[in-house]
Amino acid sequence: MSDSMRELYEETILDHNRRPRNFRHHPAGANRIAHGHNPLCGDELSLSLTVEDGVIKDIGFDGHGCAISTASASLMTEALKGKTVAEAEALFGKVHAVLTGANGNEIQSLGKLRVLQGVRGYPMRVKCASLAWHTLHAALAQQQDETISTE
């Protein structure tokens, strides 16, 4: 990773950790809710979405976690407002591929989410960054009765 990309990664992670966007308990009308837990570092979050006519109208999260986990959830919620459920699922797949290094070609289509590529430089933190995304996947599938784990 270039020095400029590493600097952008660090700045973005710190900014979204200090001032997480959409950090709040269930938005009004939330109809998709899921809970996630990363037992390795103790990150926990609840994700709530308001989906109307197949479009994510609102999204919020709460809980506690490390800087990478919180920043990833914050970035994710910003990226998903106004997206269709299908677009959100596709974005989940792209981010997962970038985080795991499975497909580097996806990076160009992620826009601001490209900074998550920096997590690959810290392999033990990939699960921190992916927690919100796996929780999103469960919420979209309406798996409300189970806690999603990164293990």
Give residue 27's pLDDT: 82
3-state secondary structure the chain: CCHHHHHHHHHHHHHHHHCCCCECCCCCCCCEEEEEEECCCCEEEEEEEEEECCEEEEEEEEEECCHHHHHHHHHHHHHHCCCEHHHHHHHHHHHHHHHHCCCHHHHHHHHHHHHHHHHHHCHHHHHHHHHHHHHHHHHHCCCCCCEEECC
pTM: 0.91
72 pLDDT above the threshold of 90:
yes
Which of 103-112, 121-130, 132-141 is the least confident region? 103-112
Mean pLDDT of the chain: 90
Give residue 20's pLDDT: 97
Domains of the chain (ranges, CATH numbers): 3-149 (3.90.1010.10)
